[in-house]
Amino acid sequence: MSWLELLAGSRVLDLAQPMRRGMPQSPNHPPFRMALERRHGDLVRPDGGSAANELIVTGGHVGTHVDALAHVSQDGVLHGGVHASSVQSHLGFTSHGIESFEVYVGRAAVLDVARVHGVPVLPAGYEITAEDLDACDVPVHPGDAVLIGTGWSRRWDEHDAFIGQRDGTPGPGVAAGAWLADRGVRVVGAETIAFEHIPPGRGHAVLPVHRMLLVERGIHIVETMRLHPLLDTGARECLLVLNPLPIVGATGAPVRPLAILPS
């Protein structure tokens, strides 16, 4: 059977949040901006045709995006013992940039922690534990992607609440991060701005799970995913296609993940 026959009738879900000016984002990063640089009528061709185009300015960590291994250091050191000062300049990174991310096409285990608790959205500030991940009862294999469902993407239009500066956001604590790392996963993803447990009133102060995954284990992180359509299907796994923009030397880049479910 050909791969075209295998995919025939499959359902494809877009797991990216729409990018727009003013969308929720981490206060640690520059915002997304878009403006029409040329409008229809500014230049009209002899045959009456006209074109419009835009200017886009964005940080690498706004909207749905992948964190490169260059994104986080500990005591000045990146993953693999690379000293950040030896590979960074105003032009970006000569090592560990997002262009070095190998395109992921493979199994994603879907761990719907919100469903385990019987709610569509986990409470703000809830810490996901290793026990929560066990309770999802979904096998996780070395090299897999793991998507953690909190339902938080349902709150995308609640700007301040989504960011969680006051009330926090649900996410994995250190023990859950270790649970994932110990299973040798390739990449992890979730719905919140930071792949972390953000307690009420703390903001994005310290990010220990980022340190553990990016620096210590070399595991990439996908943030601000639009997972609720996938969670609504009840799927425990899917085929995930993950291919961030290959911006040379960048610490992260936008991505449009696709989940493919069998017919």
**Spatial distance between the Cα atoms of 235 and 231, rounded to a whole number of angstroms:** 7
Which has more confidence, 83 or 263?
83
Instruction: Tell me the per-residue pLDDT of 163-202, one tens digit each, with 9 for 90 and over.
Output: 998 999 999 999 999 999 999 999 999 999 999 999 998 7
φ, ψ at 246 (rounded to 5°):
-85, 70
Q: Position 47: which residue type?
A: D
pLDDT of res. 6:
66
Q: Are strands 187-190 and 145-149 parallel, antiparallel or unpaired?
A: parallel
Per the CB < 8 A criterion, the answer to whether 62 and 32 are in contact is yes
Among 6, 23, 94, 85, smallest CA distance to 59 is for 23
pLDDT of res. 10:
86
Per the CB < 8 A criterion, the answer to whether 232 and 261 are in contact is no
pLDDT of res. 2:
66
pLDDT of res. 9:
78
**Encoding tokens for residue 6?**
């295998």
> Helices in 52-203 by DSSP H: which ranges?
84-87, 113-116, 130-135, 159-163, 174-182
pLDDT of res. 201:
82
CATH superfamily of 3-17+60-243+252-261: Putative cyclase (3.50.30.50)
pLDDT of res. 1:
56
Q: Position 254: which residue type?
A: P
Instruction: Tell me the per-residue pLDDT of 100-121, one tens digit each, with 9 for 90 and over.
Output: 999 999 999 999 999 999 999 9
For residues 175-204, one letter each, b for 16 or more C-beta atoms within 10 angstroms of the residue's C-beta and e for the rest, the string is bbbbbbbebebbbbbbbbbbbbbbbeeebb
Helix (H) / strand (E) containing 127: strand 127-128
Q: Position 127: which residue type?
A: E
**Spatial distance between the Cα atoms of 72 and 242, rounded to a whole number of angstroms:** 21
pLDDT of res. 94:
98
Instruction: Tell me the per-residue pLDDT of 77-99, one tens digit each, with 9 for 90 and over.
Output: 999 999 999 999 999 999 999 99
Among 188, 148, 154, smallest CA distance to 171 is for 148
φ, ψ at 204 (rounded to 5°):
-90, 65
* pTM metric for this prediction: 0.94
pLDDT of res. 64:
98
> Helices in the chain by DSSP H: which ranges?
3-7, 84-87, 113-116, 130-135, 159-163, 174-182, 208-210, 228-232
**Spatial distance between the Cα atoms of 227 and 16, rounded to a whole number of angstroms:** 8
Per the CB < 8 A criterion, the answer to whether 227 and 15 are in contact is yes
Where exactly are the structural domains of the chain? 3-17+60-243+252-261
* Percent with pLDDT over 90 in the chain: 91
Instruction: Tell me the per-residue pLDDT of 16-57, one tens digit each, with 9 for 90 and over.
Output: 999 999 999 998 899 999 999 999 999 999 999 999 999 999
Q: What is the rounded end-to-end Cα distance, in angstroms, of the chain?
A: 16
Q: What is the mean pLDDT of the chain?
A: 95
